[in-house]
Amino acid sequence: MSREAVVKAVCGEDEECRKGLSEAPRETAEFFSAFSTFVPMLKSLEAPLIERVENLSSAEALVGDRDLARLAVAYRLAQLYGERFRGWEGDRCPICGAVPTLFLVRREPGALFEGRAKYAKCVCGFTWRYKWWRCPKCGAEGRENFEVLYREDMEGIFFHKCKRCGHVHVEVNGEIDEVAEYGLRILARYVA
Ligand SMILES: [Zn+2]
Ligand SMILES: [Zn+2]
């Protein structure tokens, strides 16, 4: 899977856009790193954790933007508490409460044959195993509930549009880098 195909689909020939997209993951990482010493004070460990943070307003004051502050704190929470939610089976992220859009399909060794498993990868970085053919937004299940779209230049990438609620999630087979992940989340919004 080429990053170039995703960048082209999002930006076309717009140089400004291409530059912004290819730098987005690095800029996000830099932004998150400013929070590497932030200590979230939690009321409880009930999902979603972001709603249990008592000093969220101090993060908001630091950033000056509510959504960005929440994302940075969620990223920190995923690092600190992600392990506690191993085996999570919910539709929404237990850390930040978001409905996932990006799913990675990984090969896993089995007793006799190699298997495949689908993982939700949230914007906050938390990853959990997910069911096949299920809409994370409305819970619709079964192949028949999805319209599957793909582009010829994006091998192994499938956009699943829920027929019930319209939510689009992307299923990625194979390796992609962070720029492609970023771009695919944007594309999912276009498709929806
Ligand atoms: Zn999350
Ligand atoms: Zn749905």
CA of 148 to the centre of ligand 1 (A): 25
**Which ligand approaches the C-alpha of residue 139 most closely?**
2
Pairwise CA distance, residues 147 & 159, whole Å: 8
Pairwise CA distance, residues 91 & 98, whole Å: 9
pTM recorded for the entire structure = 0.93
CA of 86 to the centre of ligand 1 (A): 13
Amino acid at site 87: G
Per-residue pLDDT of the chain (192 residues; tens, 9 = 90+): 579 999 999 999 999 999 999 999 999 999 998 899 999 999 999 999 999 999 999 999 988 899 999 999 999 999 999 999 999 999 999 999 999 999 999 998 888 888 999 999 999 999 999 999 999 999 999 999 999 999 999 999 999 999 999 999 999 998 899 999 999 999 999 887
CA of 183 to the centre of ligand 2 (A): 22
CA of 169 to the centre of ligand 2 (A): 10
SS3 171: strand
Residue 178 and residue 25 in contact, taking contact as beta carbons nearer than 8 Å: yes
**Which ligand approaches the C-alpha of residue 74 most closely?**
1
Domain count for the chain = 1
Strand partners, 118: 105, 130
Residue 17 and residue 187 in contact, taking contact as beta carbons nearer than 8 Å: no
Strand partners, 86: none
**Which ligand approaches the C-alpha of residue 162 most closely?**
2
Q: For residue 94, give its domain range.
A: 1-192
Counting Cα atoms < 13 Å in the Cβ hemisphere of 150 gives 12
